[in-house]
Structure 1
Amino acid sequence: MTGGTVNRTIYPLTLFYDAACPVCSLEMDHLRERNRDERLVFVNIAAPGFDPAIYGVSYADMDAEIHGLCADGTMLRGVEVLRLAYDAADLGWVLRPTGWTPLKPLFDAGYRVFARHRREISRAAAPLIHAIRAARARRKAAEMRACRNGACDIHGHDRSTS
């Protein structure tokens, strides 16, 4: 964790991401689907009227790499934010190796290269992104059709008892 602070209050973690970036948006959609405990809050920095100054960060910095605001007010950025987001979504095992001491500098540098070129990567990956989004939409539609009388289990909560 940044700054060596082990006891800080992390969640809810606010994720500042660029929804105009298809790769970034796809990843946040995936995390949003798994955000069952509402440990993540999503803020689109590309939204009209978004003002990063209220967080003490410039738009250029937020656009350069993902930022996350911990519940205790600590602002983080880069792979550390993704590790915490994946932990919140019960997928921490996926990014755990990115925090291992011998590998961390390589993953951090790799992420910075990705972040710098994410728009070009999004354009190149557009067919794959479209296919993933279409598959997710089909799955969601099937889940909605499976619901009967408002008693389906959506995000682990039985709507019939809400």
Structure 2
Amino acid sequence: MKLRIFYDGLCPLCKNEMRNIKRRDIDNAISLEDINAQDFSERFPHIDVTKANDILHAETADGKLLLGLDVTYEAWSLVGKGCLVGLLRKPLIKPFADQGYLLFAKNRYKISKLLTGQSRLPQECESGRCDIKY
């Protein structure tokens, strides 16, 4: 595992992006953890669920914490598609992209409703673990 992403599995758009990333993750370099899992805080006490619900969190294999679009860029880079979001990490664009991301994150359920017809997904957990089916 090179990257562990802590995502909101109740958000249709978020879950869809994680599913797309994992489909391309042929080296199994990325693990996904739904912050809504019943045992999440027990397994990851160092991750504040409230903060992780406000902004996407991930940790690298060496324990470095990544946030927001840095997570997205790292994940897509690991599956060979970093060019899709690389422009958003350029110094002149990064501050604006990060603000746009925070606006998206704050309104992700409303945006999901507009784009998918669903604002939140039902939790699909078995024995306290919520996994993406891909």
Residue 62 of structure 1: how far off its partner (Å): 0.5
Structure 1 length normalisation: TM-score?
0.69
Given that 1:83 and 1:95 are in contact with CA atoms closer than 8 Å, whether structure 2 keeps it comes out as yes
Measure the CA separation in 2 of the matches of 1:53 and 1:39.
Answer: 19
Flag the structure with larger Rg: 1
Residue 37 of structure 1: how far off its partner (Å): 0.9
Aligned to 1:33: 23
Residue 127 of structure 1: how far off its partner (Å): 4.5
Aligned amino acid, residue 101 of structure 1: P
Give percent identity, aligned residues only.
Answer: 28
Whether 1:88 aligns to 2:88 is no
Choose from 33, 55, 66 the match for 1:43: 33
Aligned residue runs from structure 1 range 94-133, under 5 A: 94-127=84-117
Query: What RMSD, in angstroms, separates the aligned Cα atoms of the two structures?
Result: 1.7
Aligned residue-pair number = 118
Residue 58 of structure 1: how far off its partner (Å): 1.6
Given that 1:79 and 1:108 are in contact with CA atoms closer than 8 Å, whether structure 2 keeps it comes out as yes
Structure 2 length normalisation: TM-score?
0.82
Measure the CA separation in 1 of the matches of 2:77 and 2:48.
Answer: 27
Whether 1:65 aligns to 2:55 is yes
Aligned to 1:156: none
Residue 57 of structure 1: how far off its partner (Å): 2.8
RCO higher in 1 or 2 (8 Å CA, sep ≥ 6)? 2
Unaligned runs of 5+ in 2: 119-134
Measure the CA separation in 2 of the matches of 1:54 and 1:20.
Answer: 18
Residue 52 of structure 1: how far off its partner (Å): 7.0
Given that 1:52 and 1:58 are in contact with CA atoms closer than 8 Å, whether structure 2 keeps it comes out as no
Unaligned runs of 5+ in 1: 1-10, 129-162
Deviations 1:28-57 (A, max 9, x none): 000010010111111111122211783423
Given that 1:67 and 1:75 are in contact with CA atoms closer than 8 Å, whether structure 2 keeps it comes out as yes
Greater percentage in helix: 1
* Structure 1 segments (4+ residues) deviating >6 Å: none
Measure the CA separation in 2 of the matches of 1:63 and 1:52.
Answer: 17
Given that 1:16 and 1:45 are in contact with CA atoms closer than 8 Å, whether structure 2 keeps it comes out as yes
Measure the CA separation in 2 of the matches of 1:54 and 1:102.
Answer: 34
